[in-house]
Amino acid sequence: MSVDMKLDRAQFDAVMVPNYAPAAVIPVRGEGSRVWDQEGNEFIDFAGGIAVNCLGHCHPALVNALKTQGEKLWHLSNVMTNEPALALATKLVNSTFADKVYFANSGAEANEAALKLARRYALEKHGVEKDEIIAFDKAFHGRTFFTVSVGGQAAYSDGFGPKPQSITHLPFNDVAALEAAVTDKTCAIMLEPLQGEGGIIDADPAFLKAVRELANKHNALVIFDEVQTGVGRTGELYAYMGTEIVPDILTTAKALGGGFPIAAMLTTAEIAEHLKVGTHGSTYGGNPLACAIGNAVLDVVNTPEVLDGVKHREQLLRDGLNKINEKYHVFSEVRGKGLLLGAVLNEQYQGRSRDFLVASVAEGLMSLMAGANVVRFAPSLVIPEADIAEGLARFERAVASIAAA
């Protein structure tokens, strides 16, 4: 088959597997919180690649790390280690509850490793009967067969044949359901401290307390999926730091590379020892190029200036969204934490989050959906205040166009 080289939206349909339906806009350049398409149209980025571009586009520290390491060493097999991986693992250990780090390429890979570790830990420590994983409705943990089955959204997991077994889904934030479900057969309870794809739903403190207490009582592990909330997104380096509990295993990806593929699973030494040599692996996990960029990301993000700045920017964004809503009455609430916020559409506009996304693009703003009823925002953690104001002005025009229709 021969296809002409035409780099437009139609070419996507010609040469790409149709599992995505991208917009007509094709960005070609980004700087900070602004992006330009093939025609030179400018957009303010409130989407951040779905909470990936934590420092915006082409941040100088990340560009420098990429160039510097790119001229030294890109990849080794895991029969060797490398300096950037050791440095990044050390920074993660020194900044969190963890003693040990496993590197991967994506959030799904990190979650796959976490789930396999939890199962193996239970098998070796407690026996073959202890294999049940408790997860929650509307959760999202990735697209591998295991992680998508643990995720609580049938739309993503159905249609691929028999699913992995011993997975129980419960309503999120339902303490009574949790108390009834957790038993001595439970090996792990997996959750997002703030559900992203499920609609920007924060875990209640009482619910998290029950998760930790029940896990302790039944010798189960608590896995925090911080793929979307981690690396400063909530105003803490990791969201668990803003709660009263500490997980046994934590996964991180997305913002860890600021746009470059890298992920990690963090855990304690006692749990980590059950992934012995040869039990799990990743070809590219921990490669020098990705880890060099991850080091640069942490050096910038894990500072009081940036983390405190996230909380300040959250308030600016919340205030702006609330002001828009006072005028147009389209949202029932604005929920979330830090710079992962969701504007929940009220009854009159139910099911129309995509309309708001399309209208925003027409006004020069990139935003997101979190289901059919939530408009999601995940801008750069260091987005300039002027860009927040301009982005809100563009969003107001988008809202006005829908309200007037």
Both structure tokens of 43? 């957009």
Number of domains in the chain: 2
Determine phi and psi for 333, rounding to 5 degrees. Answer: -165, 165
Give yes or no: residues 340 and 317 share one domain.
Answer: yes
Region of 364 (left: φ > 0; alpha: ψ -120 to 50; beta: rest) is left
On whether both 272 and 134 belong to a single domain, the answer is: yes
Catalytic pick from 45, 254, 377, 387? 254
Q: Is the pLDDT at 305 greater than 80, yes or no?
A: yes
Amino acid at 271: I
Residue where one domain finishes, among candidates 239, 270, 301: 301
Q: Examine residue 64 and state whether it is found in any structural domain, yes or no.
A: no
**Domain shared by 266 and 213, yes or no:** yes
Over residues 243-263, the pLDDT tens digits come to 999 999 999 999 999 999 999
Residue 2 within any structural domain of the chain: no
Q: Is 254 a catalytic residue?
A: yes
Asked if the structure places residue 67 within a domain, the reply is no
The reply, when asked if residue 283 is annotated as ligand binding, is yes
Q: Is 110 helix (H, G, I), strand (E, B) or coil?
A: helix
Please give the model's pTM, rounded to 2 decimal places: 0.96
Question: Using an 8 Å Cβ cutoff, are 383 and 47 in contact?
Answer: no
Q: Is residue 65 in a domain?
A: no
Domain span including residue 210: 73-301
Q: Is 227 annotated as a binding residue?
A: yes
Q: Is 95 annotated as a binding residue?
A: no
Residue 312 lies in a domain: yes
CA atoms of 26 and 325, how far apart (whole Å): 30
Please report which confidence band the pLDDT of residue 4 belongs to, taking 50, 70 and 90 as the band edges. Answer: confident
On the CB side of 335, CA atoms within 13 Å amount to: 18
Phi, psi angles (nearest 5°) of residue 336:
120, -165
pLDDT of 151: 95
Decide if pLDDT at 320 tops 80.
Answer: yes
pLDDT of residue 133: 98
Shared domain check, 291 and 350? no
Burial class (CB in 10 A: 0-12, 13-18, 19+), 88: buried
CA distance 228 to 51: 6
Tell whether 185 and 330 lie within a shared domain: no
Q: Is 370 annotated as a binding residue?
A: no
Catalytic residue among 46, 136, 140, 331: 140
* Model pLDDT for residues 172-215, shown as the tens digit of each residue: 999 999 999 999 999 999 999 999 989 999 999 999 999 999 99
Give me the residue label for tokens 């959750």: 191
Residues 150 and 288 in one domain: yes
The answer to the question of whether 140 is labelled as a binding residue is yes
Are 270 and 313 within one domain? no
Instruction: Measure the CA–CA gap between 73 and 81, rounded to whole angstroms.
Output: 12
Q: Are residues 174 and 262 in the same domain?
A: yes
Answer yes or no: is 332 a known binding residue. Answer: no
> Which CATH number fits the domain that encloses residue 131?
3.40.640.10
Q: Which of 131, 202, 225, 387 is catalytic?
A: 225
* Chain-centroid distance, C-alpha 365: 21
Catalytic-residue membership of 137? no
Q: Residue 145 above 90 pLDDT?
A: yes
Beta-carbon neighbour count of residue 283 at 10 Å?
Answer: 10
Q: Quick check: 259 and 273 in contact, CB under 8 A?
A: no
Instruction: List, for residues 84-130, the tens digit of each pLDDT value.
Output: 999 999 999 999 999 999 999 999 999 999 999 999 999 999 999 99
- Is 335 annotated in some ligand binding site? no
pLDDT confidence tier of residue 3, bands split at 50, 70 and 90: confident
Is there a single domain that holds both residue 112 and residue 259?
A: yes
Is 108 annotated to bind ligand?
yes
Task: State phi, psi for 318 to the nearest 5 degrees.
Answer: -60, -45
Task: Tell me, yes or no, if 140 is annotated catalytic.
Answer: yes
Does the residue 1 lie in any domain? Answer: no
Q: Where are the alpha helices (DSSP H) in 18-80?
A: 48-51, 60-70
* Residue 68 covered by a domain: no
Q: Does 264 reside within a domain?
A: yes
CATH number of the domain residue 336 falls in: 3.90.1150.10
The reply to whether 292 and 308 lie within a common domain is no
